[in-house]
């Protein structure tokens, strides 16, 4: 399975988390470290999953790309720079061009409590259905993971109420106890939930200056 992980440019990413990495100051450098850390922890879980053959970040931010390259993660530019869903369709075209028979997926880049075994289980469950599937976030309204089997388009519909949008396209909702996979982080409340689940090492390090990083290290 080939997995796309889109990452926004740092200047526009995770604005509701600004200040979380430096005790409320909101310095751009501290915020950037946190955003990059979220992506690095997400991709560490992805590359640790047995079912993932290829992980490909979709991002045009050179700071992010450099950090991911240091972790051995390949990246392609966000084209045509028109938002998340066009970026994913572009990434899908790149992956399908290399292997039309691949299963292709899209995963949000803000899952710092994700475990590789959770992703393995969710993907294997999804592959067993034989069609497009998605996993909702912990609120049940958003989408953290979308999968499409060979020869079926991904049809990404990420954004507000994306779970309903994916359901409307015929994708089936995955059910399973995967708390790290469902815990995308957009707000301080989300980050607190992820902290209880156990943050990855990059996010924990980015939060230590604020006193928020004292959590179980996976």
**Cis peptide bond prior to 186, omega within 30° of 0:** no
**Lowest-pLDDT range of 48-57, 132-141, 178-187, 205-214:** 205-214
Please report the pLDDT score of residue 92 as a whole number: 98
Residue 130 DSSP label: T
Which neighbouring-strand residues pair with 134? 146, 173
**What percent of the chain is modeled with pLDDT above 70?**
97
Per-residue pLDDT of 130-172, as tens digits, reads: 999 999 999 999 999 999 999 999 999 999 999 999 999 999 9
> What is the pLDDT, as a whole number, of residue 32?
96
pLDDT, residue 213, reads 58
Q: Is the pLDDT of residue 210 over 50?
A: yes
pTM: 0.95
Q: What is the CATH number of domain 2-210?
A: 3.90.550.10
Domain range list for the chain: 2-210
Per-residue tokens: 49: 């999953």
Burial class (CB in 10 A: 0-12, 13-18, 19+), 88: buried
pLDDT of 211 > 80? The answer is: no
pLDDT higher than 90, residue 212: no
**Mean local confidence (pLDDT), 179-189:** 98
- CB under 8 Å, gap of 24 or more: what pairs does 64-71 form? 64/7, 64/9, 64/10, 64/35, 64/36, 64/39, 67/36, 67/39, 67/40, 68/7, 68/39, 68/40, 68/43, 71/40, 71/43, 71/44, 71/47
């Amino acid at each position: 399975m080939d997995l796309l992980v889109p990452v926004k440019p740092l200047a526009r990413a995770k604005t509701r988390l600004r200040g979380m990495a430096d005790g409320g100051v909101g310095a751009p450098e501290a915020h950037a470290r946190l955003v990059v850390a979220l992506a690095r922890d997400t991709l560490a879980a992805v590359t640790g999953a047995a079912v993932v053959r290829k992980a490909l970040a979709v991002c045009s931010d050179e700071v992010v790309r450099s950090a991911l390259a240091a972790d051995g993660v390949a990246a392609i530019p966000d084209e045509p720079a028109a938002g998340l869903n066009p970026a994913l369709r572009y990434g899908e075209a790149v992956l399908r061009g290399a292997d039309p028979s691949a299963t292709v997926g899209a995963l949000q880049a803000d899952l710092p409590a994700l475990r590789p075994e959770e992703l393995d289980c969710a993907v294997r469950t999804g592959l067993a259905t034989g069609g497009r599937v998605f996993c909702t976030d912990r609120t049940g309204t958003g989408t953290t993971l979308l999968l499409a089997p060979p020869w079926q388009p991904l049809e990404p519909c990420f954004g507000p109420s994306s779970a309903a949008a994916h359901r409307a396209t015929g994708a089936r909702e995955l059910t399973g106890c995967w708390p790290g996979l469902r815990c995308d982080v957009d707000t301080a409340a989300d980050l607190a939930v992820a902290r209880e689940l156990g943050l990855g090492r990059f996010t924990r390090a980015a939060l230590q200056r604020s006193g928020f990083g004292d959590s179980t290290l996976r």
